[in-house]
Every structure is written in structure tokens, then in C-alpha cells.
Structure 1
């Protein structure tokens, strides 16, 4: 998918990640939805689209979206190219990229689905794309990792943790490849982990490649305050592109409950391209 390059003077981009919380056109009671997940009402899409317009990001990594049609109801297709993972599950990851940035879709990181081929419920794969403004390019990996292992130590071998640890090893391999190739990259999405630079999982990544965790040392104001599980990692030259103190979390003004919206808030940074 191609378009014209950005004008030469437009050298700043806003990069965001947003989990849209089971965004689907399916109705309440549909067997594809869990019993405790309600279908979205038309006004929910209207409200979310207004927040997406207010977010006004150039590149939005999104999670938990059931195909291109619900995504297009949030991100105006006249403004954004919409790319989704090809995994046939309801919780897909994707990317909305402002036109006329150009997008090259790379091979999906299917290894993140560590379940066996006969599993009844599959995990999310990683969406791997390269975005260019005509001069510089940024390799982007959009992820949504296994939930339930928020901050447990590496010797925790119960429940979700072994799965998350396995996914992090795959993520480390992808980062190591980008480090070897020397291209600027970003990994962003729902890590389902309260990452800090002291987390042993982050320390393992740091052994292979120096990365910048944009959310490090910060707390999120989303829904009254919580630890970040949505993160933005920057590597290679992209680390120096981060505009200092540009981390932002868009909260839902005048909305006191996430009903019909999302239990996650968009997390953003700004990058200055050289």
C-alpha cells in the first residue's frame, strides 16, 4: 500500500497504542463473545470515533479488534490506512497509519501464538510493518501478549506466566534481529505486564539490545490511576527520535465508566524524525 511521501517539513509523528476492549460488531450473546462481554451499541462507536479524532495520532497500534469493519468505524479510512493481523480470531491486532505515510507489511510474527495447532483458543500473533515518510522508515511490531502474569518473578511456573515468558523469548529474538540489521524500530501494544527497566524480562531484552521503555518510571492516569501494561519500546536510532517528556495518556473526559468505551486508555509518544 503506497501513497505520496509526507512533506519534507513534516518531521514529527505521534505514535500511539490503544487496546479497544473486544471491539466487535457481534451482538451480546453471540457465541464468539465471552458471556461477560456485551456487544457494542451504535453510540459506543460514535463515542470511540470522537476520542480517536481527539487523539489525532499519526500511527495507532490497536488491539482486540474483530476485523477491518469495526476498525473503520473508529479510524476514518479517508484519514488512515488500516492493517490487521490475519489470525482468524476475534481479538486481532492492527495498525492505523495516517495517509500519506507509506506502509510495507512484513511477515507476521506468528510464533507469538505459542498454542498448538489443535488448540481451541489461539493467542494473538504480532503484526510486523514498516512505515515510511519518504525519507526515514520505522519498523513496527504490534503485540498483545498473554494476560495474567502482571509482575510475578521468573520462577513463577503456574497459570499464565510460563506462556508469557515464552512469548518474551520470541520477542527478544525479533528485537535481536532488528538490532543486527540496524534499523529503527518500535514494539508497542498490550504487554499485559507492569514493565519497568528492573523487570527481569526487560533485563533479558537489554542483554541483547539497548532499548528505551517510554513508560518507565511513570504511572497511568487511566480510570483513576493504574500501572502501565500498555507500553512503547524504541530501539536503534528510534531511541534518539523520542521527544523528551512527550509521553501522554488520553483519558475519557466526562465518562466515569468504561462501559461501551475501553478498559484501556491510548498511550502516546512523539518522535522527531531526523
Structure 2
């Protein structure tokens, strides 16, 4: 995608479910194999001078303090990967758990933005009528 003649990479992900926190669940080995590939891809785009936005279902509560997966994603300070979407308790979590869907951007992407407005869209009515147990994350970027 081009943004003001600047190439920008947008990547949608759906990582392994079953490892939303910690590292001892059976699914964690797969999720922790996926994270370095994601980080390497973001680094390769950064090396080419291409800002990157990674969004989707990470199936992980990345916003929790000290989360190992987010620490791995953010280990490369040059990339400056950070969460731009809603980081608190998900309005679609019946157990008051943090969200598992995010938008993460590189520092070079952040540098392109003038302002960001992020929120989680909440469904209404009884849970049984909701279209999903994932609330959509809405992030409005002003360039």
C-alpha cells in the first residue's frame, strides 16, 4: 500500500489459539515458534525502510505487563513495535480478561501518524446474539 507515496506494509495475522498467557499450555510451543517469524518479517520490512502495521487475532494477551510474546516482538528497539489498539479488558470477554486482538505498528509507522484514536467496538444485546466473542478493534490513524 502507498501512503503519501510512502510504501506501507499491512499484515493480518491469526496466531495459534490456546496460549493466551503464560508458556506452559500445549499450544504455547506453536505460538512461540510463530512470534520470531513475525518479528523477523517486521525487521525485514524495517530494513527496507517500509513501515509496518500488524493486526489481527494474536490469541495472546499481549498488553499484560511483562508478556513474553510481546517482549519477544518488541526486543528489537529499532523496530519500536508497540500496541496501538485497545489494550484493556475486552468488552467481549465474559471473564473480564484482556483483549487478544491488536494492531501493532513499527516506529516508522508511528512516525507517519499525526494522531491515533483507538477503541474497542462493543456488541449489544444478550451474549448469545453476538456475532463473535472477539470485539472489533477500531484504530483511526490521522496522517
* TM-score of the pair, normalised by structure 1: 0.46
Partner of 1:206: 74
SS state at 2:12 partner: strand
1:175 corresponds, among 39, 42, 66, to: 42
| Distance in 2, Cα, partners of 1:137 & 1:143 | 20
Q: In 2, are the aligned partners of 1:213 and 1:231 still within 8 Å (CA)?
A: yes
CA contact (8 A) 1:242 1:270 kept: no
* 1:184 to partner: Cα distance: 1.2
C-alpha deviation, 1:193, in angstroms: 0.3
1:146 to 16, 20, 23: 16
Structure 1: give runs of 5+ residues left out of the alignment.
Answer: 1-130
Matches within 5 A, 1:65-80: none
Change (3 A) 1:257 1:216: closer
Q: Name the CA shift for 1:251/1:215 in 2 (closer, same or farther; >3 Å).
A: same
The TM-score with structure 2 as length reference comes to 0.83
Gaps of 5+ in 2: none
- Which aligned runs of 4 or more in structure 1 are off by greater than 4 angstroms? none
Question: What is the aligned-residue RMSD (CA, Å)?
Answer: 2.2
Matched, 1:243 2:111: no
Following the alignment from structure 1 to structure 2, what is the Cα–Cα distance between the partners of residues 179 and 251? Answer: 34
Residues paired across the two proteins, number: 138
The answer on whether the counterparts of 1:183 and 1:236 sit within 8 Å (CA) in structure 2 is: no
The structure 2 residue matched to 1:185, chosen from 37, 46, 52, is 52
Structure 1 or 2, whichever has the larger Rg, is: 1
